[in-house]
Amino acid sequence: MLIDKDSICPTDGLNRKFLLEKDKTGMPFVKLLEPLTEDDLSVRLLKQINTDTLIEKIWAEKDKNGIPFKDRFEEFSRLFFNDTKVKPVPKKECAKCQFKTTISDEDNGYLSGFKECWQEALHFDNSDFKDPTVLDLWNYRKKDECLNAGLIKLKDFDESDLSIKSDHKPGISGSERQWLQIEKVQQQDDTVWIDKEGLSDEINSWTYPLHFIDFETAMLPIPFKKGAHPYQGIAFQFSHHIIDDHGNVKHVGEYLNTEPGIDPSIDFIRALKSQLETDSGTIFRYSNHENTYLNLILKQIKDNPEPLDDKNELIDFIISITKSPNDSRHKWVGERCMVDLWELVKRFYYDPLTNGSNSIKKVFPAILNRSKLLQEKYSQPIYGTKNGIPSHNFTNFKWIIFDKDTIKDPYSLLDPINKEAPDDKIEMLFEDEQLKEGGAATIAYAKLQYTHMSDFERDQLRKALLRYCELDTLAMVMIVEAWLDMLS
């Protein structure tokens, strides 16, 4: 039985008839709050799929060594029940190994499953693990080929191992960035690379005030309302910072709706429109997430059978700040299309401290450790003060706190959104790097919708969501502040 994403919910409030609770042993179960009506059951949201053909195909498959699936299955079963260790084979999936450790973990006596495997398979010693490997190479698609060929460490690569070419756009191409990462390793150069000319040209095209936005979103299996699809995208929160033409920073707005059973997306767009339509300043996002969800909501508004007095205004607003999806027949780039800071990082800025990652969760801490301007400014308790930087959720807050020679990751200064499952555990649930960043918020929203909790717990979770999302847009602000200082 699978959720049928093409089905259409026949009634309003269907999702509110189900509640997740825990029994006395702590095991979760689903409680039906109201009987399901004939209308509720008139459209099947679950679809029965006959998997016989797929199963037969799997049983008939052979691996690359010609061994049938059934034989391999029986071999693994014997190994498991005999408690026999399988010989490790390094592959690209090792990059996401859940059994890696930090230096602090090892100091506390924890063992690294990742190291154990690679020591056995590659005869690595502790010093080998200090060298960046092909697993660290950003967006490289031939990691398995390199591992199979014994090309493991980045210091052993040469230009012939990559297909390095320009894409004739400002900044550097993806392959040029990969080679830049390798060169930094080989030359033992930990300095920042910045394309000052290219980034300056980009910055000169911006219009003040600069707006920084970040969304928190969810896709839930049981729709909120009649006419909606399972896993229909929902935008439930945003944060909004600005930098004015004098360099002043302000947290100017936010939106959060976690009311159970309410689809917040339309009100979300109205709130966003009201905050961004007061001027023509440049709008920033980080990665494609915001553009994707605005396009999802655009389709929902167009398909909405209910009359909306401001339907055309909302459609025009979304189109003005977005670009069309790749698979859209109708192509557009809004006259005020959001600028993607993630793309600017990839093309104009590289810091070896990120180890090749362009995630804001890596770029942000790295740039804090580089920028004297940020360190001097945000080591003072000016955030959330009347004469400093206005904030909706912080008071007299310091974002720069040193731990010996390095600055603590600002996200570590926040309480976990889900205390039962801290952010580092939640990351294991999400394969995509971008999804990891909002994973904690998505799960928190689902809990607010489907689980029973006290008013106190609900309020604490709301406050944690607000603080988390505000830091996301502040991180974008700080990256731009650091760049402006580096170019001055």
Summarize pLDDT for 291-340 with one digit per residue, the tens: 999 999 999 999 887 889 999 999 999 999 999 998 888 999 999 999 99
More confident residue, 62 or 224: 62
More confident residue, 433 or 321: 321
Q: Write down the residue that tokens 């502790």 correspond to.
A: 126
* Cα–Cα–Cα angle for 405, 189, 164, rounded to 5 degrees: 135
| Rg of the chain taking only CA atoms, in angstroms | 25
Q: Which percentage of the chain shows pLDDT scores above 70? A: 96
> What 3-state class would DSSP assign to 62?
strand
Lookup: tokens for 245:
């033409």
pLDDT the model gives residue 16? 85
pLDDT the model gives residue 26? 83
- Please, how many CA atoms are within 13 Å of residue 357, restricted to the half-sphere of its CB? 18
**Cis bond upstream, residue 221 (ω within 30):** no
DSSP 451: B
pLDDT the model gives residue 430? 46
Q: What is the 3-state secondary structure (H, E, C) of 440-487?
A: HHHHHHHHHHHECCCHHHHHHHHHHHHHHHHHHHHHHHHHHHHHHHHH
DSSP 91: -
pLDDT the model gives residue 428? 44
Buried b (16+ CB within 10 A) or exposed e, 168-205: eeebbbebbbbbbbbebbeeeeeebbbbeebbeebbee
With a cut of 70, say whether residue 431 has pLDDT above it. no
With a cut of 50, say whether residue 436 has pLDDT above it. no
Residue-wise pLDDT for 79-105, tens only, equals 999 999 989 999 999 998 989 998 888
Q: Write down the residue that tokens 């299955």 correspond to.
A: 73
Task: Write the CB contacts of 390 (distance below 8 Å, at least 6 apart in sequence).
Answer: 250, 251, 252, 384
Average pLDDT over residues 239-255: 97
Average pLDDT over residues 372-383: 97
